[in-house]
Amino acid sequence: MTQPLVSVLIPCRNAERTVAETLESVLCQTWGCVEAIVVENGSTDDTASVLESFSQRGVHVIRHEKSGAGAARNRAYNECSGEYLVFLDADDVLHREKISHQVRLLEDNPGCVSCCRWGRFVEQPDDAVFREYPVWRDMEPVDWLTTSWLGGGMMFPGTWMIPRAEAESAGPWNESLSLNDDGEYFTRVVLASAGVRFHSDAIVYYRAGDGTNLSAAMDRAALESGFRVCELATNRLLEAERSDRTLKASATMFQRFAYDCFSNAPDLAKQAELCAQRLGGSDLKAPGGTLFKAIAAVAGWKVAKRLQSLRRNAGGSS
């Protein structure tokens, strides 16, 4: 019996340090029918020469003008032939049985999408630290999203496997987004599916400290993208189900964004907080240490955030 083809789709920009390890993890998969497509997205380092050595080993490398990860992923998708899709970042690493486990799971659960365990590492995947999250189980689409948004854990692109039919139903990546574009995309994917199926033996290693998280991407365009993701994702969820739980989850998404962006974009934080209030409000507390929480309890979280920023700028601890 012919194995279904899995397409691993990788946007790649300035990843000369990491992409070789990422691609080796794809090429050594125990699943025998895998294609790897890398879209080189206007790198200014030595990424192109690293990819050249992998093109000689069967990796399909596409040169693409710089236009963002979403456009690169869409280009890779348009070139792929797989029955199942994995969107992998160029610095993350797959366990060798990751694809095999997820394909078999989805073959037994038609119409579903799959996510998996993941651990965070800095230097070596073997040093990855794993933490259990509430979303690490089988769930219905709305259950999964509300649990995740209320603090139950996240999944990054490489943890997912998507059947082609569900990818077609969800539609392409939104190329106007940057920050948290995967959050918006996978909201659509989950809602287009018959459910989320979790596999505990499928594993992805998530490289930390690469400068792509919210705190490291605080330019105005990125933050506007983050706010737009909140709008788009919550609208999708509320179209699927408008209930106390989805309103609370949506309000919490906006409130979390307000906390995260306040120091850099107080106007966007204000808009996000107003959105949270219109949705019924959230009981999410601003994150911080003991001193931060003590100040927030007396003077409010915004004052605590301002003082936190002043301490950081002065070189003190937060």
Q: What domains are defined for the chain? A: 6-207 (3.90.550.10), 214-305 (no CATH)
> Where are any strands of DSSP class E within 136-179?
162-163
Tokens of 46: 């030595």
> 294-303 long-range contacts, Cβ below 8 Å, gap at least 24?
301/259, 302/262
The closest of 272, 278, 275 to 302, measured between CA atoms, is 272
Residue 277's H or E segment, with its range, is helix 266-278
Q: Is pLDDT at 108 greater than 50 in this prediction?
A: yes
**Which residue type is seen at 251?**
A
- Kindly report, residue by residue over 182-194, the tens digit of the pLDDT: 999 999 999 999 9
pLDDT of residue 315: 67
Q: Is pLDDT at 318 greater than 70 in this prediction?
A: no
Tokens of 80: 């792929």
User: Predicted confidence band at 269 (pLDDT cuts at 50, 70, 90)?
Assistant: very high
The residues pairing with 85 across neighbouring beta strands, listed in sequence order, are 7, 162
The residues pairing with 154 across neighbouring beta strands, listed in sequence order, are none
User: Predicted confidence band at 217 (pLDDT cuts at 50, 70, 90)?
Assistant: low
Chain Cα centroid distance, residue 232: 15
pTM of the model: 0.94
CA 236 to CA 210: how far, in whole Å?
30
Q: Are 169 and 192 in contact (CB under 8 A)?
A: yes
Query: CA 131 → CA 75, 103, 198, 202, distances in Å?
Result: 34, 24, 15, 15
Q: Are 155 and 88 in contact (CB under 8 A)?
A: no
Tokens of 77: 């998708």
173 Cβ neighbours under 8 A, 6+ residues apart: 69, 70, 71, 73, 74, 181, 185
pLDDT of residue 316: 56
CA 178 to CA 137: how far, in whole Å?
29
pLDDT of residue 211: 42
The closest of 105, 120, 191 to 158, measured between CA atoms, is 120
pLDDT of residue 105: 98
- Kindly report, residue by residue over 158-209, the tens digit of the pLDDT: 999 999 999 999 999 999 999 999 999 999 999 999 999 999 999 999 999 7
